[in-house]
A and B are shown apart, each in its own frame.
Chain A
Amino acid sequence: GESVGLHLPTLSVQEGDNSIINCAYSNSASDYFIWYKQESGKGPQFIIDIRSNMDKRQGQRVTVLLNKTVKHLSLQIAATQPGDSAVYFCAEIPGGSYIPTFGRGTSLIVHP
């Protein structure tokens, strides 16, 4: 079946660097995408979302880019901090559905 996947399971960066986490999706019916952050011992927490009528959305230190042509989603974190260390999941939601489909996640490790 169609699924959401991630290119890099682990990403290591130095504090202060910019991080880019990628996600590929295959369900062309998906029109809403969310990035979640999961810290150790906690559940996934909402970071930022984007609808399919947009190709970029910015938050505080985070930017999500959506390329519908190649079905690709990315999360950019500026000036990465040790507190950003976590597993990041992208989730896609098809139009008319209330059920997000998650991928495996990418573990981001930030070295001081």
Chain B
Amino acid sequence: EAGVTQFPSHSVIEKGQTVTLRCDPISGHDNLYWYRRVMGKEIKFLLHFVKESKQDESGMPNNRFLAERTGGTYSTLKVQPAELEDSGVYFCASSPLGVLGANVLTFGAGSRLTVL
């Protein structure tokens, strides 16, 4: 079974540019999450999809961040325009719907974003 895949693995952009990160969850996983880790700090929650619907986006830092999950399969996270403080590793995770196993997230390897 393929795991959670993320693309790109590393992106280096200049302040003011746009970057789009993509996440392909495990097939059949309706829960999809985005998290971010800034160096040396905690892994912070950004948002949670159930299928194509945004269930909770309370962790999104501001309106420069836009997440979508059209069709309830893969998801994208766009940062526009990027700022220096957006640098970090963006993790995507997925889990099946339902009580059993829903809380155990399977993470992708992350997309490292460096804003210069």
Contacts and interface: CB of A to CB of B under 8 A. Distances in A.
Interface residues of B, number: 24
A99 B110 CA distance: 18
A41 interface: yes
B95 A102 contact: no
Contacts, number: 53
Interface string B90-116: 010101000000111111111000000
A89 interface: yes
Given A4-B42, A104-B42, A34 B104 contact: yes
A49 B42 contact: no
Interface of B: 4, 31, 33, 35, 40-45, 48, 56, 91, 93, 95, 102-110
17 contacts: A4-B42, A32-B103, A36-B107, A43-B93, A43-B107, A43-B108, A43-B109, A46-B106, A49-B104, A89-B42, A98-B103, A99-B33, A99-B45, A100-B45, A103-B42, A104-B40, A104-B41
Interface of A: 3-4, 32, 34, 36, 41-46, 49, 89, 93, 98-105
